[in-house]
């Protein structure tokens, strides 16, 4: 993949209920980018997603959870992300590698160095050109999620979500790659404006408007609900 032709990869991150899925869709439309998500954007990924998130299935250990997330990411890159970038398209993904560090690292307490190695192997070293963290308090995110049935990670409770939120803040502060932190408690249009301003300043305005509808220039056509890891 040559630098001159490669598209840009932007990852939207945050705790569940922060509004990142909405912002990923809005951003992809404005950029004319491919919209995708983790876990579950491929046929294999949709099966892995159920194993990971269905609260009615048998428990998954922390290490197994991290490995399943890595498998989903490797397939996602092979089928969706890398081909799009190689064609020159920009890609907006609802969750990427930082989710593994936040959820399985800070949330589950798994070894950071081991997760870094796992992520590097699964992605073959591909990192987001910009990671956008939509930040809201855990209580606000919980209220936004409402009364729907929680998935396997949501049932972990407030303490788990607080560790994940703290992990995201630490990742944004320490990362050697660019991060943009946006206050997600503002009205949706104000959040979108802040995201756009930050992306424009960091990367430019993208390849141009795509066709109407979620997904911009193509891709998976949506984020498939709440996503983790």
CA distance 222 to 87: 21
Domains annotated for the chain, with CATH where assigned, are 9-203 (3.40.50.300)
* pLDDT for residue 225: 46
Structure tokens of 57?
């299935």
Q: What is the pTM of this model?
A: 0.89
pLDDT digits (tens, 9 = 90+) for 8-26: 999 999 999 999 999 999 9
* Percent of the chain's residues with pLDDT above 90: 75
Cβ 32 vs Cβ 217: under 8 Å: yes
Distance CA 107, CA 138 (A): 13
Return d(Cα 201, Cα 165) in angstroms, integer. 25
Max CA distance (Å), the chain:
48
pLDDT above 90: residue 142: no
pLDDT for residue 45: 98
């Amino acid at each position: 993949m040559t630098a001159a032709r490669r598209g840009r990869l932007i990852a939207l991150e945050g705790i569940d209920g922060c509004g990142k899925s909405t912002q990923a869709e809005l951003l992809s439309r404005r950029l004319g980018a491919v919209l995708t998500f983790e876990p579950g954007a491929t046929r294999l990924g949709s099966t892995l997603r159920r194993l990971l998130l269905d609260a009615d299935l048998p428990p998954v250990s922390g290490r197994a959870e991290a490995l399943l997330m890595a498998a989903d990411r490797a397939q996602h890159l092979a089928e969706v992300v890398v081909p799009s970038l190689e064609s020159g398209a920009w890609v907006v993904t609802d969750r990427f590698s930082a989710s593994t560090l936040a959820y399985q690292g800070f949330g589950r307490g798994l070894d950071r160095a081991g997760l870094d190695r796992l992520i590097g192997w699964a992605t073959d070293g591909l990192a987001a050109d910009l990671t956008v963290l939509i930040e809201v308090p855990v209580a606000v995110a919980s209220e936004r999620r409402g009364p729907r049935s929680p998935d396997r990670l949501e049932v972990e409770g407030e303490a788990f979500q607080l560790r994940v939120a703290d992990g995201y803040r630490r990742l944004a502060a320490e990362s050697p790659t660019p991060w943009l932190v946006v206050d997600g408690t503002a009205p949706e249009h104000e959040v979108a404006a802040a995201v756009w301003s930050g992306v424009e300043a960091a990367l430019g305005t993208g390849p141009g408007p795509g066709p109407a509808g979620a997904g911009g220039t193509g891709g998976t056509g949506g984020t498939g609900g709440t996503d983790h890891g």
